[in-house]
Amino acid sequence: MSAPAQSGEIAVRAACLDLERRRQSALVALDLPALDQMFAADLVHIHSVGLVHDKAALLAHIEARRGFAAIERGPLEIRVLGDDAAVMTGAICNHMRAPDGSLSELRGMVTQIVRRTAAGWQFMHFQLTPLQ
């Protein structure tokens, strides 16, 4: 791989990690405007129970549930697909807050597809498979 290609791949990886860090922070802070900017218009989000949301439905779900107390990620494998797309996979632990205030953990493996758009890097696909 040539030096320019390597530096481009490094930049894409850094952008992906930054996007994921900002997603986690926005979910915990319930920062819906930030999430709106990070989620592509054609987002497909598949929850651990198989529920499928588009962007509008996911934002409404996040606002109604207000459930993220914390999010932990393990190392992410990032497969760079050119200069404007990547696939990220890795472990996740969502610390969830129920309406009664009780806490639970949801551990799983996540696949995320991100792409660079005119609005910047955005999530276009997210799927969480729970670990048993």
Q: What is the CATH number of the domain that holds 63?
A: 3.10.450.50
Gyration radius of the chain's alpha carbons: 15
Lowest mean pLDDT among 6-10, 69-73, 126-130: 6-10
Domain extent, residue 92, equals 3-130
pLDDT at 5: 60
- The Cα–Cα gap between 81 and 128 comes to 21
The model's pTM: 0.92
| pLDDT over 80 (residue 2) | no
The total domain count for the chain is 1
- 3-state class (DSSP) for residue 19: helix
Tokens of 3: 């030096």
DSSP assignment of 38-63, as one string? HEEEEEEEE-TTS-EE-HHHHHHHHH
Q: How many CB atoms lie within 10 A of CB 115?
A: 16
